[in-house]
A and B are shown apart, each in its own frame.
Chain A
Amino acid sequence: MQLDDLYRRVIMDHYKKPRNRGTFEDDTVTVDLNNPTCGDRISLQLKLNDGIVEDARFTGEGCSISMSSASMMTEAVKGMTLEQAHELAERFSALVKGEDAAFDEYEDIEALSGVNKFPARIKCATLAWNALRKGIEKPE
């Protein structure tokens, strides 16, 4: 078990300097999700317009894996169609389960692939993405 497989520098960078951390004041889709087994929680806000994720922000509390994953996810989905965002969430699930490591166009997110060797931490990585799924499934 190599710790450096899990705690890559880019992950710690997102943890320490999270992107898109905060809230919108105007109307958004808000999804609150927590991880009842460990206490991590996220509040994800999505600005959806015409089937496009125009913007995304989050607040929450959790470990470096859950918070960096939220930071990376909000960066990646901006500008995507709902279908693209959904597909990315599917690919992310596969990535952290070790099924499909091809995430070349998102180097930061690819760094989270090391989670697959730490089964207890997979749910940390997927928290924000589960919030995303809920958010884009919600009727506007």
Chain B
Amino acid sequence: MIGRELREQFPILNQEINGHPLVYLDSAATSQKPRSVIDAIQAYYEKDNSNVHRGVHTLGSRATDAYEGAREKVARFINAARTEEIVFTRGTTSALNLVASSYGRSVCGEGDEIVITQMEHHSNFIPWQQVAKATGATLKFIPMQEDGTLLLSDVEQTITDRTKIVSIAYASNVLGIVNPVKQIAEIAHRHGAVIVVDGAQSTPHMRIDVQDLDCDFYALSGHKMCGPTGIGALYGKMALLEKMEPIEFGGEMIDFVELYDSTWKDVPARFEAGTPIIAGAVGLGAAIDFLNEVGLDNIHKHEMQLGAYAVERLSEIEGLSIYGPRSERIGLVTFNLDDVHPHDLATVLDAKGIAVRAGHHCCQPLMRWLKVSATARASFYLYNTEADIDRLAEALRETKEYFSDAIG
């Protein structure tokens, strides 16, 4: 069951926007939530809410079980070797910042290298810029082909024995490219570097096996995979996490607190200072159950089909340019239409009930590489259908007409 049949499980999709049935094509920004996730969050607050890891009372145990149960679900979902290798965070951004600020700053020094690409989201870009500036390390970029893809020979050229960290998106939020992270991990390890994988755009859409990828760190966001906002996770190999210092201090994360020094709990608790977003973790757990029920392979196949169909339909429109490779892409299409600015385009599509993203997609360096200031992006998920893409294509034709009349 996928596409149209799934739609009724997403209450938000059943509405009109500006007099038209909503076509939601912005799931790469955030996905919509199925009824089961919304219900799980509500049920948690109605029945189990309490603080975790401290109450002796029944609700305290239930809340702790729910929170730790969600951690176990995340671990199984990405095939981590141990549940303790999952650190809950606010999302991918804070997961990547944790690796950069803790691990990155401790291992990098003058003359060392951090390797990334120009297609990274700002959240996998700026934290490394900051580490480089603070430690004297050099930030290096794996060159991109004309369509944005990476060649392994270029990866080999860029990573050296001075490289300490390679950090790369599994899937690009703009180009739709899936990067060969397993092969890049192998190259990084051969040079004694660790590999950090930004999984924000891959985890919702394809089966993830962190052990098979052999990545050292993997970051994900709950809200892009049918879960709530405010919850995400950092996976790290236990041996690395155990070496890392916390970057936030306070309740929940301490072992003993003396007047002038303190000690930390074991991993992962030492990285989770303060009361966590318990209901968010519960919601993420429910989202994982939901995705498992639909099946990641089914989701991936469905989105690859939608991506290919969208490229085909949008290519038929004269004056429309698509960025990134034509094939082998995840379910999103980034494009521009003639001289119509993407904000104008998005406003006109919104008037027709179609939600797309317009702007730089938190990828200013990539926009410069593409030599554009902004683009429009349509992104798909398990609830989208070919009919949605037909509506988009038709609306784009009308938009083109509207602006050619208006501009005259």
Contact = CB atoms under 8 A, between A and B. Distances in A.
Nearest to B359: A38
B140 interface: no
Interface stretch (A23-31, A59-67, A71-79, A96-104): A59-67
Nearest to A124: B343
A124 B374 CA distance: 14
A39 B347 contact: no
A1 B359 contact: no
B253 interface: no
A106 interface: no
A38 B347 contact: no
Interface residues of A, number: 22
Contacts, number: 54
B344 A63 contact: yes
Contacts of B358: 38
Contact of B18 (A1, A16, A38, A39): A1
A61 B373 contact: yes
Contacts of B350: 1
A63 B341 contact: yes
Contacts of B341: 62-64
Interface stretch (B204-212, B234-242, B381-389, B400-408): B400-408
B359 A39 contact: yes
B181 interface: no
Contacts of B360: 38-39
Nearest to A4: B406
Given A12-B408, A39-B374, A61-B373, A3 B347 contact: yes
Contact of B344 (A16, A41, A61, A64): A64
Interface in B319-374: 341-344, 347-348, 350-351, 358-360, 364, 367, 373-374
A128 to B, nearest CB: 15
Interface residues of B, number: 21
Interface in B72-119: none
Contacts of A86: none
Contacts of A65: 343-344
Interface string A1-32: 10100110100100110000000000000000
A120 B360 CA distance: 16
B373 A15 contact: no
A121 interface: yes
A1 B350 CA distance: 10
Interface of B is mostly: helix
B406 A63 contact: no
B343 A1 contact: no
A85 to B, nearest CB: 26
A7 B18 contact: no
Contact of B407 (A15, A37, A63, A124): A15
B348 A3 contact: yes
Contacts of A120: 347
B351 A63 contact: no
Contacts of B364: 39
Contacts of A118: 347
A83 B341 CA distance: 34
A117 to B, nearest CB: 11
A40 B341 CA distance: 10
B342 to A, nearest CB: 8
Contacts of A124: 343
A3 B374 contact: no
B408 A63 contact: no
B351 A3 contact: yes
Nearest to A7: B406
Contacts of B342: 63
Given A39-B367, A120-B347, A124-B343, A3 B407 contact: no
A2 B276 CA distance: 44
Interface in B131-161: none
B406 A39 contact: no
Given A62-B341, A64-B341, A12 B407 contact: yes
A7 B404 CA distance: 12
A121 B350 CA distance: 12
21 contacts: A1-B18, A1-B350, A1-B351, A3-B347, A6-B347, A7-B406, A9-B406, A38-B374, A39-B359, A39-B364, A39-B367, A41-B373, A61-B373, A62-B343, A62-B373, A63-B342, A63-B343, A65-B344, A118-B347, A121-B343, A121-B347
Interface of B: 18, 341-344, 347-348, 350-351, 358-360, 364, 367, 373-374, 402-403, 406-408
Given A15-B407, A39-B374, A124-B343, 5 more contacts: A7-B344, A12-B406, A39-B367, A39-B373, A64-B344
